[in-house]
Amino acid sequence: IFDIDGFGLLGFNSVIDRDYPVVMGILTLSASLMLLGNVLSDALVALVDPRVRFE
C-alpha cells in the first residue's frame, strides 16, 4: 500500500491534521485492496494446486 506515490504521506498527514474523511477513505481503499488480493490468491491456489478443494 505504501508503494503508491503519496498514499502513505497522505494518510500520515490526514491523521496529523485530523482529516477523518480522508483517513476513512484510505482505510476503506486499503481494506478493499487487501480483500481483493486475498480472494485472488485463494482462487489462484485453487486453480494451481489440485489438492485444494472448496466445499
* pLDDT digits 0-9 by tens, 18-45: 999 999 999 999 999 999 999 999 889 8
> Is the per-residue pLDDT at 2 higher than 70?
no
Q: Residue 31 is placed in which grid cell?
A: 481494506
Selected residue with higher pLDDT from 46 and 38: 38
Residue 4's pLDDT band, with cuts at 50, 70 and 90, is low
Return the pLDDT at 47: 87
Answer for the pair 52, 46: CB distance below 8 angstroms, yes or no: yes
Return the pLDDT at 5: 64
Return the pLDDT at 46: 85
Q: List Cβ neighbours of 26 (8 Å cut-off, separation of 6 or more).
A: 7, 10, 11, 14
Cα 29 from Cα 1, distance rounded (Å)? 10
